[in-house]
Amino acid sequence: MGNSLALVGGPRLADREWPRWPQPGGRALKSLEDVLESGRWTISCAYQGRTSYEQQFATAFAEYCGSALCVPTSTGTASLAVALEACGVGAFDEVVVPGLSWVASASAVLGINAVPVLVDVDPRTYCLDPAAVEAAITDRTRAITLVHAYSAVADLDALLEIARRHNLPLIEDCAHAHGARYNNWPVGAFGTAGVFSMQGSKLLTSGEGGAVVTDDPEIAVRAEHLRADGRVLRREPVNIGEMELLETGQLMGSNACLSEFHAAVLLDQLDLLDEQTLRRSRSADHLSARLGALGLTVQGTATGTTDRAYYRYAVQLPDEILAVAPVHRIAQALTAELGFPVTQTHRPLNDNPLNRPSSRRRFATDAEYMARVEPSQFDLPVARRIHASVVSFGHEVLLAPLDAIEDIALAFEKVLAHIRELAE
């Protein structure tokens, strides 16, 4: 590969159109038109004589996840906050949070006035490290949250054992993991509750949306109250024009309901998910073989994983390459060669500009609380190392034909061959 890198003026290696995301399915437009004409755009509108799209989705998604119950929500962040409160977490309680994650993993905890305790991750999977969790548990700990990160499934066997031994709820954050399976069972169904995001970049998306799944009917009822201003769907028949939501007065909530438009789109997207997951997995297997031969380390997953869901494809660069050029320059070079964004991982939450509780007066209850939630107090050396050595790209790329996936491997090969052009 004699040509210089595209980043420094050479020709781009791949000149092609890459798949866009989101991708609507065949029934989305008809379903959205149906909602428009239905007279009911959300479950807080009057009942119109038929099952809401929201409840159709709740039933279908619970079945997909192997869970007894599903409570849809407006966002993934809301689903995490709702699940935590439904599990009894409240003000000043400590919640174990993975230190390498999107900021919502911490902000949802802060949003219920609890304390995120940032814990380091496993260097192979980038998911919560069970040994670090064990070391972080105190008499103030009230829950453990894990994230199945990027394309990996966390070590559920070890984390469930810790949670059971300490009598703590384990909440699975599956925002990256729609369709992943552990020991041949869907993720989200192992913990006390599983939470999902359906934000626009996610594997199952309606632009915004979320869900809580659980087998515990008490947690589900509390989640219903919490996401619908203290109301739950009536269990008895409802007449047309009446409110389907019942004001119980049992538990105060907020409005985090999923609209009928979003639910209709999610039903369409759920039809497509398994076939897309299979295509992504085939592409990832091909690319992993090629990049492994170049000396790169593809993100691993827990031993019990039976099906991976590739939200982002992530690969770690060797030390000898990073000694010549920093990871951000390599990511820029790959982006220039391929024409789609290649980036680093999330920045660790102990040093992330999006995770600054001190920037919001709502958290300034007292000096002790502000000291407890200060992110910089936590040391996350593994998360820091991953951020400084891993590049990743979005799942939609893996929906491209295999010849396009081969272009990705060739781009890595070209960048590594010209690595000295990126030295700073």
User: Is the domain of 155 the same as that of 278?
Assistant: no
User: Is the domain of 238 the same as that of 292?
Assistant: no
User: Is the domain of 104 the same as that of 149?
Assistant: yes
- Orientation of helix 260-293 relative to helix 402-417, angle to 10°: 50
The reply to whether 389 falls in a domain is: yes
Segments in 228-308 forming alpha helices (H): 260-293
Most distant CA atoms of the chain, gap in Å: 74
Helix (H) or strand (E) holding 147: strand 141-147
CATH number for the domain including 118?
Answer: 3.40.640.10
Pull the structure tokens for residue 97: 């949070």
Residues 80, 209: contact at Cβ < 8 Å? no
Tell which of 251, 270, 289 closes a domain. Answer: 270
Instruction: Please name every residue paired with 171 in a beta bridge, in sequence order, or none if there are none.
Output: 145, 193
CA angle 149, 150, 155 (to 5 degrees): 35
Q: Which residues of the chain have pLDDT under 70?
A: 1-2
Coil, strand or helix at 305? strand
User: Is the domain of 308 the same as that of 176?
Assistant: no
With a CB cutoff of 8 Å and minimum separation 6, the contacts of 354 are 103
Predicted confidence at residue 99, as pLDDT, reads 98
Residues 266, 208: contact at Cβ < 8 Å? no
Query: Among all chains, which residue has been given the structure tokens 């990705």?
Result: 408
User: Is the domain of 252 the same as that of 277?
Assistant: no
User: Is the domain of 54 the same as that of 178?
Assistant: yes
pTM of the model: 0.97
The reply to whether 369 falls in a domain is: no
The reply to whether 355 falls in a domain is: no
CATH number for the domain including 310?
Answer: 3.90.1150.10
Residues 213, 227: contact at Cβ < 8 Å? no
User: Is the domain of 41 the same as that of 112?
Assistant: yes
Predicted confidence at residue 25, as pLDDT, reads 94
CA dist., res. 150 & res. 121, Å (int):
13
The reply to whether 353 falls in a domain is: no
Beta strands in 202-287 (DSSP E): 210-214, 231-233, 245-247
Predicted confidence at residue 1, as pLDDT, reads 54
User: Is the domain of 108 the same as that of 181?
Assistant: yes
Nearest to 192 by CA among 250, 142, 132: 142
Predicted confidence at residue 207, as pLDDT, reads 98
The reply to whether 361 falls in a domain is: no
Residues 88, 111: contact at Cβ < 8 Å? no
The reply to whether 160 falls in a domain is: yes
User: Is the domain of 227 the same as that of 310?
Assistant: no
Q: What is the dihedral of CA 186, 192, 198, 201, to 10 degrees?
A: -70
Tell which of 229, 244, 270 closes a domain. Answer: 270
Predicted confidence at residue 319, as pLDDT, reads 97
Coil, strand or helix at 403? helix
Domains contained in the chain, number: 2
Q: Strands 94-98 and 141-147: what pairing?
A: parallel
pLDDT tens digits, 14-56: 899 999 999 999 999 999 999 999 999 999 999 999 999 999 9
The reply to whether 362 falls in a domain is: no
Task: Please identify every residue annotated as catalytic.
Answer: 202
Cα-flanking dihedrals φ and ψ of residue 128, to 5°? -50, 130
Tell which of 270, 299, 328 closes a domain. Answer: 270
Domain of residue 189: give its range: 28-270
The reply to whether 288 falls in a domain is: yes
With a CB cutoff of 8 Å and minimum separation 6, the contacts of 197 are 75, 76, 77, 79, 104, 175, 209, 210
User: Is the domain of 227 the same as that of 325?
Assistant: no
User: Is the domain of 232 the same as that of 113?
Assistant: yes
Helix (H) or strand (E) holding 102: none
User: Is the domain of 257 the same as that of 401?
Assistant: no
pLDDT tens digits, 154-185: 999 999 999 999 999 999 999 999 999 999 99
